[in-house]
């Protein structure tokens, strides 16, 4: 073939473009190059969950960790061909300062990579702590706090879990696409419930939803017995298309579907939920990841598992393409235009270079099926439709650096 012989120029350009590593057999490369070690800390602050009415499905204690473990195994299968070795250290502490100490010690030992499964208050302290700020790449795998993406973003802090704003935008787009624009909002009393309710209000403004009524519940009875009596009374607020629930802990919200005065669907934190990941996601090859996860964890994969999985996979992808374990190199690559990763969501994912959030489609699910996935068709954006979800560049008021 003529072009084969004359395409040396192409080839050189391609090598640079793709950062293609063409290595001899794994055994041979093991002898010729040194193993690149990539140690990652999984730092968790275990929190005592408030009592909730429904005891059916308590969240798994090892949420997140199991996802990271599967990703480490995946990455080592790849790493075997390149002589890259990934390892995970798991540390869980009850209080914030003990968790911080562990992180500082990790950096003192010369390590730079952390998966943070921390409440947002602790996470803020972590990324500002001396010895960590500007030194480490921290992946937030569990905090959905919008402030961390809009007002308090920090160089070095990347978010693989979607923010509340991304979740409610994903839901709002679906509701608007279905022309269900009259919403009745019921929210709980906890700070997270208020944050979720605020995100719903922001989404309503963005996409044209109308909150025709808003109520806070203050039930102190056991709704498991009385929902059928209480809720029809509580939900007589005029006409609307859908009830939206803000109850992150899953306290009262579970009892709202089918008990509203009007026969209307329920969405939000219960009913139809927007979520980073769920056991029902099976498209785009996801069933393979779900199977690997189930085999390893003996349960289905949740959103925090996915956030931890994609955090480790993101790092590993950067290590593979740059052939480096240097935090500065990896961080710059993760935030560059070259970076993209396949992650079972039907399109490539990348990080927003204005706040460190992983841009990703959001599944909308109910317990046994995927209902839809946002962004919905027709919600356009000049850069990427995925940026119609969550805080866009112009809405972000913090300084975020693409270099460490």
Name the site residues for other proteins (rule: CB under 8 A): 1-4, 7, 10-11, 14-15, 17-26, 74, 77-78, 80-82, 285, 288, 291-292, 313, 317, 320-321, 340-342, 346-348, 384-385
Q: Which is nearer to other proteins, 20 or 189 (CB)?
A: 20
Do residues 255 and 231 touch, judged by C-beta distance below 8 A?
yes
- The distance of closest approach from Cβ of residue 57 to other proteins in the complex, given in angstroms and rounded to an integer, is 27
- Assigned token pair, 78: 């790849």
CB of 73 to other proteins, least distance (A): 8
| DSSP track, 110-164 | T--EEEEE--HHHHHHHHHSTTTTTT-EEEE-S---SHHHHTS--TTEEE-SPPH
Cα–Cα distances in angstroms (integers) from residue 390 to residues 99, 165, 199, 290, 395, in the given order = 29, 5, 9, 26, 9
DSSP 156-168: TEEE-SPPHHHHH
Q: How far is the CB of 287 from other proteins (least distance, A)?
A: 9
CB-neighbour burial class of residue 82 (10 A; exposed 0-12, middle 13-18, buried 19+)? middle
Q: In this complex, which beta carbon is closest to other proteins, that of residue 57 or of residue 77?
A: 77
The least CB distance from residue 340 to other proteins, in Å, is 6
Q: What is the smallest separation between the CB atom of 334 and other proteins, expressed in angstroms?
A: 15
Q: Which is nearer to other proteins, 3 or 48 (CB)?
A: 3
Q: Are 175 and 271 in contact (CB under 8 A)?
A: no
CB of 85 to other proteins, least distance (A): 15
Closest to other proteins by CB, 262 vs 341, is 341
Total Cβ atoms within 10 A of residue 347: 16
Q: CB of 316 within 8 A of CB of 324?
A: no
**End-to-end Cα spacing for the chain:** 46
CA neighbor of 168 nearest in space, from 150, 140, 190, 144: 144
Q: Which is nearer to other proteins, 20 or 128 (CB)?
A: 20
If the CB atoms of residues 226 and 283 are measured against other proteins, the closer one turns out to be: 283
Nearer to other proteins, 264 or 359 (CB): 359
Q: How far is the CB of 347 from other proteins (least distance, A)?
A: 4
The full DSSP string for 208-247 is T-EEEEEEE----S-HHHHHHHHHHHHT-SS--SEEEEE-
Which of 56/369 has CB closer to other proteins? 369
Give the SS3 label for residue 306.
helix
Shortest distance in whole angstroms from residue 138 CB to other proteins: 24
């Amino acid at each position: 073939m003529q072009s084969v012989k004359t395409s040396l120029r192409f080839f050189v350009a391609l090598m640079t473009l793709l950062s293609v590593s063409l290595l001899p057999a794994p055994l041979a490369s093991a002898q010729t190059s040194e193993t690149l070690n990539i140690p990652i800390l999984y730092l968790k602050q275990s929190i005592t969950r408030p009592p909730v009415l429904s005891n059916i499905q308590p969240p798994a204690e090892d949420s997140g960790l199991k996802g990271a473990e599967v990703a480490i195994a995946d990455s080592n299968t790849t790493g075997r061909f390149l002589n890259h070795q990934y390892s995970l250290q798991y540390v869980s502490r009850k209080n914030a300062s003990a968790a911080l100490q562990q992180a500082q010690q990790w950096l003192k030992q010369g390590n730079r990579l952390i998966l943070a499964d921390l409440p947002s208050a602790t996470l803020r302290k972590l990324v500002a702590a001396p010895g960590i700020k500007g030194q480490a790449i921290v992946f937030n795998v569990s905090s959905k706090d919008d402030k961390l993406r809009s007002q308090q973003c920090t160089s070095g802090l990347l978010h693989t879990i979607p923010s509340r704003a991304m979740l409610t935008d994903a839901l709002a787009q679906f509701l608007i696409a279905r022309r269900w624009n009259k919403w009745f909002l019921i929210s709980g009393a906890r700070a997270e419930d208020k944050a979720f309710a605020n995100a719903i209000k922001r989404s309503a403004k963005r996409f044209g939803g109308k909150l025709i009524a808003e109520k806070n519940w203050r039930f102190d009875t056991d709704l498991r017995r009385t929902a059928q009596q209480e809720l029809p009374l509580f939900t007589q607020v005029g006409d609307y298309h859908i009830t939206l629930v803000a109850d992150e802990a899953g306290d009262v919200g579970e009892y709202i579907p089918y008990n509203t005065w009007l026969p209307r669907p329920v969405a939000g934190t219960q009913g139809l939920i927007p979520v980073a990941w769920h056991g029902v996601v099976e498209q785009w090859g996801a069933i393979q990841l779900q199977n690997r996860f189930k085999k390893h964890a003996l349960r289905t994969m949740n959103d925090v598992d996915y956030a931890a999985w994609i955090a480790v996979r993101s790092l590993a992808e950067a290590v593979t393409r740059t052939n480096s374990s240097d935090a500065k190199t990896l961080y710059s690559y993760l935030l560059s235009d070259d970076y993209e990763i396949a992650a079972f969501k039907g399109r490539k994912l990348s990080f927003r270079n204005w706040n460190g959030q992983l841009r990703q489609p959001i599944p909308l699910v109910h317990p046994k099926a995927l209902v839809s996935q946002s962004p919905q068709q027709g919600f356009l954006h000049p850069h990427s439709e995925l940026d119609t979800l969550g805080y866009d560049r112009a809405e972000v008021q913090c300084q975020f650096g693409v270099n460490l």
